Structure 1
Amino acid sequence: MLGYNRNMLAGLVASIGLLPLQVAAQAVDSNQDNSAAEKVLVSTETTEPKEDQDNVEHIEVIGRYIGIEAPEAFGRFMLSKDFIRNAPKTTGDINDLIALLPGVQLSEDALAVSQAGEIRAKQISISGAQPWQTGFFINGMNFNSRLDPGAYNRSEGAVNDVQGGPQNFNVNSQIVDSIDVYDSNIPVEFGGFSGGVVDVQTASAVQSDKARVSLGYRGSNSDWNQYHIINGDIDDDGDAFSTDLLTPEFEQQSVNFLASTPLSENQGLLVSVNYLTAKKSKVSFREIVNTERQNINLLVKYSLRNAFFDNLDWSVLYAPYENRNLQENVLNSELVISGGGYGTTLNAEKAFSSGEWISEFSFNTSENSREAPPHFYLWLQANGKAWGRDTAVDDDLDDTQQPVSREGGFGDLDKTQTTATWRNQFQFNDWQWGRAEHRLKVGFSAQYQALGRKRNADSYYYNSAVQYSASAGNNALNCSGYTLDCVELSLAKSIETLEAELGEPLDFSNPEHILLYSDNVLVSPQFFNFRIVYPSENIRVNVNQVGIYLNDQIHWDRLTLNAGLRYEYDDFFKNHTLAPRFSGSWDWFDDNSTLLVFGASRYYDAGLATYKLKQESKPYYTEFRPILNGSLQAWVPSSLDADLRYRYEGLDSPYNDEVVLALKQSLGAFGFVSLRGIHRWQRDQLARASESELGADGYRYAYQDNSGFGTSSRISLAWSASWRAHSFWANTDFSRTKSNGDSYNEAVDDVSLDELVWYIGNGVGSLTTQSAVATLNTNFSRPLRVNFGWHADWTEAFSTTLNGAFTDAYHTAVATGQYISSGNIAWLCKDCDVDSISVPIYRKVEFARRWQVNLATRYTLSLQEWGNLTLSVDITNLFNTRTYMVTPGNDGVETGRTLWAGARWDW
């Protein structure tokens, strides 16, 4: 292990003390990277052979418990199979486990009631970075999504994009053997990130000389869960009841299967599958409707040992995701979101006389696509288009807000990503130079990535309905054959019949006549005089990247240094970048009990293919239509007929600089503790230039520059210990994140129409943009957090695991689900007879401090020759505390105690 004293032996211990401390008296080569289990340092003492001992050499092994951190310079946390298996969990998403570590945070919506019944991987942030700035790897294969990784929180019916996320695949812990998480001093072999790294390993197919079969089932449903129904008029602990609020109804089921068998003495085959489904209710038009989701993780792995290659693993991962959903309170809005895909990796290792060669080839393809109705309509609430009155959203509108009836969707949109990567590393044998010992490794990587975006037909967004009146001598509305976006007057009885029944002509100054006429109207006339057109498109872009790195680990006396340098080049930005990675440790007492760790590193961001796809995407354009003597005319492109196009030219590559100072201390029988301080500077971040430019082709071009910057500071303290059949861990971190994008006063006359929103902060509202509001969200900047855990093996058959978390209060901006008239938008379409459009409303809120405790119980029954049966119960929010996702003054529902029950048979 890097940074270990050469005179020590390394051994393995069960995960975080999940079993009593046991140390194997087996020497582990210091070249190996034993990330699959926690580490224990051991010292040895060899006695002289004696005749009565039959010349058997005796080795005394003394163990020192370390936990999920190793005494090394890298900022690495290691979660083993036992830790993963025993930790309380819900759907099994690995990000829930990673969020237990210091410096790792889940998105604020992870606890929202809207997540009940969801099965997507939750967003995480490492060291204050955005979720898409984390590098995700499984068996060496990168599974970051570059299609638009910031689209996680977008609506299922997003206007010109598809709800997505930072990861290609939703990885379930069932197929995982171990997870390494790096938050600082990250090794030089990792690239394409500026936050942290999550390195996932699946189990080897060569584990024993016997076949193994495992079958499991876990499930949860809303009847087993509890909720807090909050009445916003009463500021209490959530016991107030509001009959207008409904708790979600859902059912989740997870089926697991694993089979592995040796094929010969040195080869084996493993098959592992997890099938996760969810049925979830929504309230739409005050009625309960059902939606469905499913996620599959199928892993097939072949392992070969001690042949031409010392180690050879070939794995195939099939991981599709599907979400059958609809937009709430939107008529005819059923849609299907498809994600995930498949990937394959080939990992080979071979030792030579001069060192060891490691080669990894991976290929994966994924999608982030949508099937939906082709057009979207924001009708005014009126006779014939009055279904918006049956929604909870529009109940409490004030005079400035606009009652609408929504219909349709934004069309089919297919987005695909294909990535092929080849990585090679050669680690030379240790060599001596003077008093220093060196360990040199060099590596090379090449990546091809292609992204596609396809819309087969134009999609129209109608958001400027006009109520037509035939009074004052106007002719009746004639839709001129436009039946989709215009409705003419429809009466139950003709005017002549109505007047005949009255016995007199209609008098619109008479209130009784007005009421009678209103009751006779089946459909009030209205039409759209403005629309946004999203044109059909078929775009494919690709980016090639290469990377070269070297690292020299220098061990001299008590000092260990890692001096690394990584070079990268891509054919989009066309920048040659050099990222130094320098870290080290000082062994204070020369026994690995006290390490002073330090480091200074640079990490360059990825996402290049995302930028290129955005640059090549077709912009929308706007159309309007005049009306003449009551007859609608043809649609006409406006003089400002194009949305922005984006340009990334002459830019530097964004990067983060990091400095680290840490202390790692063994406490003997009291475990292991680490204290670290991390500061990062975000430099050359991409930001919109101050003004767009009108090109000769009539398009407006928004150029990006490198004016973005920010800082992130964190202090964290972590501790773990093991005592007999009990193990404990705890960590806390205090962080501060700042950015130059902390204002929402962007120029709204330089953005896309679908980016406009109304933001209300401190009681004052103004027109701004989606991206500007996003900068206000302290989504991953909680000032103070505390996590803790306790595992106990009470008997050989029964065990429990308890963990908990505390989060301090913070502010953010949330969507209200309401709309408001934008006011004058003549600057968007000077030739259009359009006064305003409808835009969504966002509001600044404060989330109160919260705490939550989770519990997992396991009981194993021996079935003798038929194996073992393990029964499990996982309880989230054991004490049924509030999440405070419903802010003061608002009505809403919060999740309380949730329960999962399961059984697993192992043979």
Structure 2
Amino acid sequence: MKCSATSLGAIALVLASSTPALAQAAQDAEEAEALPEAVAEGERVDDAYEIGTGNDSGVSTITRKEIEARTPGSGDVNQLLKILPSVQFDRNEGIADREAIQDLRPADISISGGRIYDNLVTIDGVDANSRLDISNDNPFNFNEVAGASAQTLWLDSELIGAITLRDSSVSAEYGRFTGGALDIQTREARRTFGASANVNYSSDALVNYIVSDGTRAAYEASGDPLPDAPEFRKWRFGVSLDAPIGDRGGLLVAANRSRADVLYFRSAGYDFEPGFRSSVSDSFLVSGNYDLAPDLVLSGQVSYSPYESEAANQNGIDNLITSKGGGLASNLRLTATGDVRWDIKASFAHNDTSRTAPPANYSIPSFSANGNVCSNTNCTQGGFGDLDQTQDTYGLTAKIGTDVGPGELRGGLDLQRIDVLRERPETAFAFSRALVEDADENPVPPSAIVCSEPDSLTCVTGEYALGQYSEYRAYTADIGIDSVGLWAEYDMSLGDVDLRAGVRYDYESFLGNHNVAPRLAATWNIAPGWEITGGANRYYGRSMLTYAIREQYPDNFIYRRTGTYVGGDYVVDDWNLYRTSVSTGYSDSDLDTPYSDELTAAVTAPLLGGKLRAKGIYRDGRDEFAKSLRRVEDYVLETGATATRRFYVMTNDGRSEYRGVSLEWMRTFGKHTIALNTNLSKTSSNTENYLETSFDVEEEGEFVFYGGEVVDLVALLNENQRLEYASPFFINASWTALWFDDRLTTNVNLRYRDGFEQIEDTGVNETVDGRRYDVYDIVLYPERINVDLNAQIDVLRSSFGTLTADIRASNLLDTIPARNSVQISQPYQYGRSFWFGLKFRY
């Protein structure tokens, strides 16, 4: 680890240098104030996050004040989870390629070693997890959408009231995960009148771009200059209104929009034509609560968060693709308190990850009138057609609890119906292979071409005729599954020991497995504030429907045509089937449900006026989904040629391991709160996702050259840490403070990620005893330190409301995110960058 005193000193220097300017701004604002103040005195900061105690030692909650203080300018609340030691993020964050800049979806996260799709994510308790394929990020894929992400629904930070993470020792109430459980709660409607409006802005003018040494060296070696840095502009703005419902309830109506516009350029053949592509993420929320009786509350929320992102291939025209995401979440809840405590909630969630695209793609000779849009031999226009993809989740949960003997008995029901649809509503086409003089087969002078049909983009008399097209036929694939969960839990105290024993039963009709997961935890209260907690738990995952959907894809068909000379004319013939491209076969059969076994221990204690939590998590993931080749089948094409079709089956060959130790300390004193934590872990797995073959199978029997000798590749790969979402050591620090009569709120976040080593293929070969082997060696992934600073200052306070100026700075020390990155097409990384904003609250 190389977190030096120099780095910490630089942070202190930045803060010290900024304090006079902030103080002067506060003084100027106070002198400009014309109306009397109407603010509450004695404001205080919240803890950076609230630490769960006792048998809830795996719980951490971030409250509204810290959400306001620490959220980055993008409004992505998932980024707040960087302060929690069990959460991992993409190692390549900070690469400033245009697609990443334009992407407004929330950051993917790994919790306690789970993959990004292994978590239970809920919005106000409503399931927000995809059952569909999230692996494709290429919007130009002819047969797959690119809008799907692990989290199907999300909202702007302005609408979030609290975030609760459960990373270990999770109650039996929560199921369908093998990573962690994340519940994002929207802001509760207030029972008094209130309103707010906000606007935030960032652009490339507020970013210092950085280029890694490796990328710069690659450009110098090629002799090419660096391309222009990405140009973009981003806006976030929104409004909210709170109103009472009599004296027994409240209603909240809010709307927010985030928009990114990024400048792209087409390729050299298309004269580098510039054009902006946009992404838009909306957040609408209607939330209310009403006291039906002193011990009975009716509440409900409806949130709508549609997302659209534009893309256009640089090698073509008229090819705009719009990928969708997000959707709708709604719930109605009745909660009773008293001797018997119960809660019942009905919910519905809709996720739309469809795409719209032109229905046909054409590759047309550039010498023709239709194709004269580029300098290449052939010019491309159009796309590969619309794809519809949706997921609907209907839910009903009920839970009840009452005191029984020395403790509390709780139990509940968790029902879901999930309907997924994948559809190509209309057949799409891709036309190519012009019949011209320089064609590979049957060269034809353009002037001789005579179309048998009226002129179109596929044929123009006297110019060209396209001789091949691929047909992607319309289809509908839909699946419905039922999910049943039952759970019971008993909490009791026996002197200084608190015990929690629970069990959860889950069944999903798709896999057809009956899964029983025990959950056990015990806490010894050894002294006031001192607790030692231990737990042993099993967590079962959920069905993934990617393979079942792909199993229903139709075959693809290729048609060709030539022509016949009649005198000096070349009359184009009709189309004939040339080849059937049989889709890859997939299937699911006799699969077990993935599960993770956990042992955990935690100590919580008072220390130096604050709170300390030390925690260890030991996880073994088994029966995880992976791909395996089932059989290879030869068949005869219509042309008489022989082709091969591969059939894959989904298996339980995947596995993972997580060993993590974390140490957390936080303290709130006066107008300041400080949080420090660190995590040391190792995460390993034999697959990256469910569409990969495990290396235990794929590399079985393979030998490579490493460390001067020939070794077994599987054994070598098992030594590696997982590459993504698995930094083995990091340190987090957060400091939130109020200044100048609570007019100024500042927050500083520091994250240090240590470097680590991986054993990888070097691309070199070595011959040993007459046999060639791939050479493997150790590759170093360097360390990184990142500091963010947020500052909010009330420039005007009056009886009519408060106007706040907002600045959010990322990577304050201007460090390079990925020092070993070598990217030629888009070489830039984010250095220091800023968001500026204003917010009015009444």
Normalising by structure 2, we get a TM-score of 0.78
In the alignment, is residue 290 of structure 1 matched against residue 276 of structure 2?
Answer: yes
Indicate conservation of the 8 Å contact 2:548/2:586, yes or no. no
SS for the counterpart of 1:116 is helix
Distance 1:179 1:639, change over 3 A: same
In the alignment, is residue 704 of structure 1 matched against residue 677 of structure 2?
Answer: no
1:834 paired residue number: none
Q: Deviations over 1:682-724 (max 9, x none)?
A: 2111222332365999986432222222222222222212232
Q: CA deviation at 1:857?
A: 0.6
Q: CA deviation at 1:665?
A: 2.3
Instruction: Determine the C-alpha separation between the residues in 2 that align with 1:476 and 1:652.
Output: 62
Q: Quick one: percent identity of the two aligned structures?
A: 23
Q: CA deviation at 1:486?
A: 7.2
Question: For 1:903, which of 831, 838, 841 is the aligned residue?
Answer: 838
Distance 1:889 1:170, change over 3 A: closer
Distance 1:583 1:695, change over 3 A: farther
Q: Deviations over 1:858-891 (max 9, x none)?
A: 1114532112111111111112221227724857
Deviates more, 1:457-466 or 1:246-255: 457-466
Which structure's CA Rg is the greater one? 1
What are the equivalent positions in structure 2 for 1:4-83 lying under 5 Å apart? 68-74=50-56, 75-83=58-66
1:538 paired residue number: 476
SS for the counterpart of 2:353 is strand
Q: Deviations over 1:189-230 (max 9, x none)?
A: 11222211111112322x44x311112211112212221245
Question: For 1:276, which of 258, 264, 277 is the aligned residue?
Answer: 258
Deviates more, 1:631-640 or 1:85-94: 631-640
AA matched with 1:366: N
AA matched with 2:74: T
Question: For 1:350, which of 328, 336, 345 is the aligned residue?
Answer: 336
Q: CA deviation at 1:158?
A: 5.6
Indicate conservation of the 8 Å contact 1:535/1:618, yes or no. no
SS for the counterpart of 1:682 is strand
2:738 paired residue number: 793
1:882 paired residue number: 816
Indicate conservation of the 8 Å contact 2:394/2:418, yes or no. yes
In the alignment, is residue 682 of structure 1 matched against residue 621 of structure 2?
Answer: yes
Distance 1:185 1:461, change over 3 A: farther
1:30 paired residue number: none
Indicate conservation of the 8 Å contact 2:345/2:398, yes or no. yes
Question: For 1:438, which of 399, 407, 410 is the aligned residue?
Answer: 407
Indicate conservation of the 8 Å contact 1:68/1:720, yes or no. no
AA matched with 1:126: I
2:612 paired residue number: 673
Q: Deviations over 1:634-692 (max 9, x none)?
A: 665567642123211221111222221222222141x1222222122221112223323
Q: CA deviation at 1:250?
A: 1.5
Indicate conservation of the 8 Å contact 2:735/2:748, yes or no. yes
Instruction: Determine the C-alpha separation between the residues in 1 that align with 2:435 and 2:693.
Output: 29
Distance 1:610 1:425, change over 3 A: farther
Instruction: Determine the C-alpha separation between the residues in 1 that align with 2:313 and 2:749.
Output: 36
AA matched with 2:835: W
Distance 1:271 1:428, change over 3 A: same
In the alignment, is residue 211 of structure 1 matched against residue 211 of structure 2?
Answer: no
Distance 1:311 1:680, change over 3 A: same
Q: CA deviation at 1:93?
A: 1.0
Question: For 1:660, which of 592, 596, 600 is the aligned residue?
Answer: 600
Instruction: Determine the C-alpha separation between the residues in 1 that align with 2:104 and 2:302.
Output: 22
Q: Deviations over 1:229-250 (max 9, x none)?
A: 4575755999x99744111211
Count of aligned residue pairs for this structure pair: 734
In the alignment, is residue 302 of structure 1 matched against residue 291 of structure 2?
Answer: no
SS for the counterpart of 1:613 is helix
Q: CA deviation at 1:567?
A: 0.6
2:640 paired residue number: none
Instruction: Determine the C-alpha separation between the residues in 1 that align with 2:219 and 2:667.
Output: 36
In the alignment, is residue 868 of structure 1 matched against residue 802 of structure 2?
Answer: yes
What are the equivalent positions in structure 2 for 1:343-422 lying under 5 Å apart? 343-351=329-337, 353=339, 355-376=340-361, 407-422=381-396
What are the equivalent positions in structure 2 for 1:470-489 lying under 5 Å apart? 476=445, 481=451
**Structure 2 residues without counterparts, runs of 5 or longer:** 1-45, 638-644, 699-705, 708-716, 761-777
1:4 paired residue number: none
Q: Which of structures 1 and 2 has the larger relative contact order (alpha carbons within 8 angstroms, sep 6+)?
A: 2
Distance 1:266 1:232, change over 3 A: same
SS for the counterpart of 1:870 is strand
Q: CA deviation at 1:84?
A: 0.3
Instruction: Determine the C-alpha separation between the residues in 1 that align with 2:607 and 2:435.
Output: 74
Instruction: Determine the C-alpha separation between the residues in 2 that align with 1:476 and 1:486.
Output: 16
2:763 paired residue number: none
Distance 1:863 1:407, change over 3 A: same
Q: CA deviation at 1:179?
A: 0.6
1:766 paired residue number: none
Q: CA deviation at 1:540?
A: 2.5
SS for the counterpart of 1:363 is strand
Q: CA deviation at 1:458?
A: 2.1
Q: CA deviation at 1:624?
A: 5.6
1:34 paired residue number: none
Q: Deviations over 1:790-836 (max 9, x none)?
A: 1121222112100021223468999xxxxxxxxxxxxxxxxxxxxxx
1:27 paired residue number: none
1:167 paired residue number: 151
2:32 paired residue number: none
2:327 paired residue number: 341
Instruction: Determine the C-alpha separation between the residues in 2 that align with 1:308 and 1:609.
Output: 45
Instruction: Determine the C-alpha separation between the residues in 2 that align with 1:889 and 1:249.
Output: 18
Indicate conservation of the 8 Å contact 2:685/2:722, yes or no. no
AA matched with 1:426: I
Distance 1:881 1:866, change over 3 A: same
Instruction: Determine the C-alpha separation between the residues in 2 that align with 1:417 and 1:470.
Output: 46
Indicate conservation of the 8 Å contact 1:847/1:887, yes or no. no
Distance 1:588 1:533, change over 3 A: farther
Q: CA deviation at 1:95?
A: 0.9
AA matched with 1:903: L
Instruction: Determine the C-alpha separation between the residues in 1 that align with 2:727 and 2:433.
Output: 40
Question: For 1:197, which of 181, 197, 202 is the aligned residue?
Answer: 181
2:29 paired residue number: none
Indicate conservation of the 8 Å contact 1:252/1:279, yes or no. yes
Indicate conservation of the 8 Å contact 2:388/2:423, yes or no. yes
Indicate conservation of the 8 Å contact 1:366/1:417, yes or no. yes
Deviates more, 1:321-330 or 1:562-571: 321-330
In the alignment, is residue 561 of structure 1 matched against residue 499 of structure 2?
Answer: yes
SS for the counterpart of 2:117 is helix
Question: For 1:596, which of 526, 532, 543 is the aligned residue?
Answer: 532
**Structure 1 residues without counterparts, runs of 5 or longer:** 1-63, 391-402, 491-522, 752-760, 763-771, 815-843
Instruction: Determine the C-alpha separation between the residues in 2 that align with 1:141 and 1:294.
Output: 23
Instruction: Determine the C-alpha separation between the residues in 2 that align with 1:730 and 1:241.
Output: 47
1:724 paired residue number: 670
SS for the counterpart of 1:596 is strand
In the alignment, is residue 145 of structure 1 matched against residue 79 of structure 2?
Answer: no
AA matched with 2:261: K
